[in-house]
A and B are shown apart, each in its own frame.
Chain A
């Protein structure tokens, strides 16, 4: 009976160790820990160009993630991209005249939505749409614009 108890104790320890490893991995090594809280609200914004912004991309204020991009649709009439975002209820007091822009982390990093808070005392609520937006800067367009302009200059000088 005594030896049996030892075996059962050891397998119990094994079970606990395994569960601890599962817990540690899921909270520390995946995005489980920094998911949004239960309480969120949805806002949206229109952009002429979202570049390669994707669903699940972070929404940041001052570099800190406050929400995620839920989905991106195209308005069939105006052909503007509508970005739907989910923001954590903890940040319920975002001014109404906040502007949204699509930024890149680093030179070739991932796209995210950056919010620049305004000064209004009216706050964004569920379903509101941001009016002030700035589209993504597309590197290829910048380069082609630069090259095109450079060629133009040479042409006028001659």
Chain B
């Protein structure tokens, strides 16, 4: 009973030690940079299309809902303020992290899990190559870098979606839209806060993905479990850390 309650704590400890082992392997060398760039393409650039489509529609629906609600007070001019603040502070970082967990986190966990199931990791260790440094670290670093950039693109597309809806469909003034944004959305409080969040979320999602890949049971079912756990655990952690970070940042 107590054993099963303490198991998650031990798991967290192992994951923390894994993170330390990974960060201990950071060296300024050409090969690490090269493999990180390669992973950045595989997990970052390949996630771009889905992030942009989702961002665009999130922006449109935000504008639609906000205009509907604000019209009751005759304040539909404020729509860009509402859209901008909620995007930069909350929706951009969180939704991007959740999408990234589904799109890239799963593929990382499945790939590493399959490497383990086919004994590629063991073979590396036999050849005295550190698999944590060679496999896990570039993926972790790429995830850390990719999520803030993807968040920025998500936000950019969402703002565009909001402009298109509120100007093109709802008939608001373009100038008012941008002016409200440029006077009401604060660079330090709103924008940078979101950037810090997205960096932390990137670290969380890629650490969880890499960790579940490495701790997967080397069977087909084990790979499946690792993929599922990655999505579940990283989504929960992202939302928990979102609350913690928001309470510190505001």
| B-binding residues in A (CB < 8 A) | 4, 7-8, 10-15, 17-19, 21-22, 24-26, 28-35, 58
Inter-subunit contact B41/A35 (CB<8 Å): no
Would you call B191 and A26 a contact (CB within 8 A)? yes
B150 an interface residue at 8 Å Cβ cutoff?
yes
Q: Which residues of A contact B195 (CB under 8 A)?
A: 22
Within 8 A of A (CB), among B112-159: 145-146, 148-150, 152-153, 155-156, 159
Select from chain B the residue with minimum beta-carbon distance to A34.
B182
Interface residues on B, range: 20 to 34
Q: How far is the CA of A24 from the CA of B178 in the complex (A)?
A: 13
Q: CA–CA, A33 to B182, complex, Å?
A: 8
B residues touching A (Cβ–Cβ < 8 Å)? 34, 37-38, 40-42, 44-45, 48, 84, 88, 145-146, 148-150, 152-153, 155-156, 159, 178, 181-187, 190-191, 195
- Cβ A29 vs Cβ B152 within 8 A: no
B181-A17 in contact (CB<8A): no
B187 near A26 (CB under 8 angstroms)?
A: yes
Q: Give the A-B contact count at a CB cut-off of 8 A.
A: 92
SS class of chain A's interface: helix, strand, loop or mixed?
Answer: helix
Expressed in whole angstroms, the Cα–Cα distance for A28 and B183 within the complex equals 10
Q: Which 10 A-B pairs have the closest CB atoms?
A: A18-B149, A11-B41, A14-B45, A21-B152, A32-B187, A11-B40, A22-B152, A21-B156, A30-B187, A21-B153
Contact A14 B44 (CB under 8 A): yes
A129 CA to B117 CA in the complex, in Å?
Answer: 76
Contact present for A10 and B45 (CB under 8 Å): yes
Among B41, B148, B149, B191, contact of A7 (Cβ-Cβ < 8 Å): B41
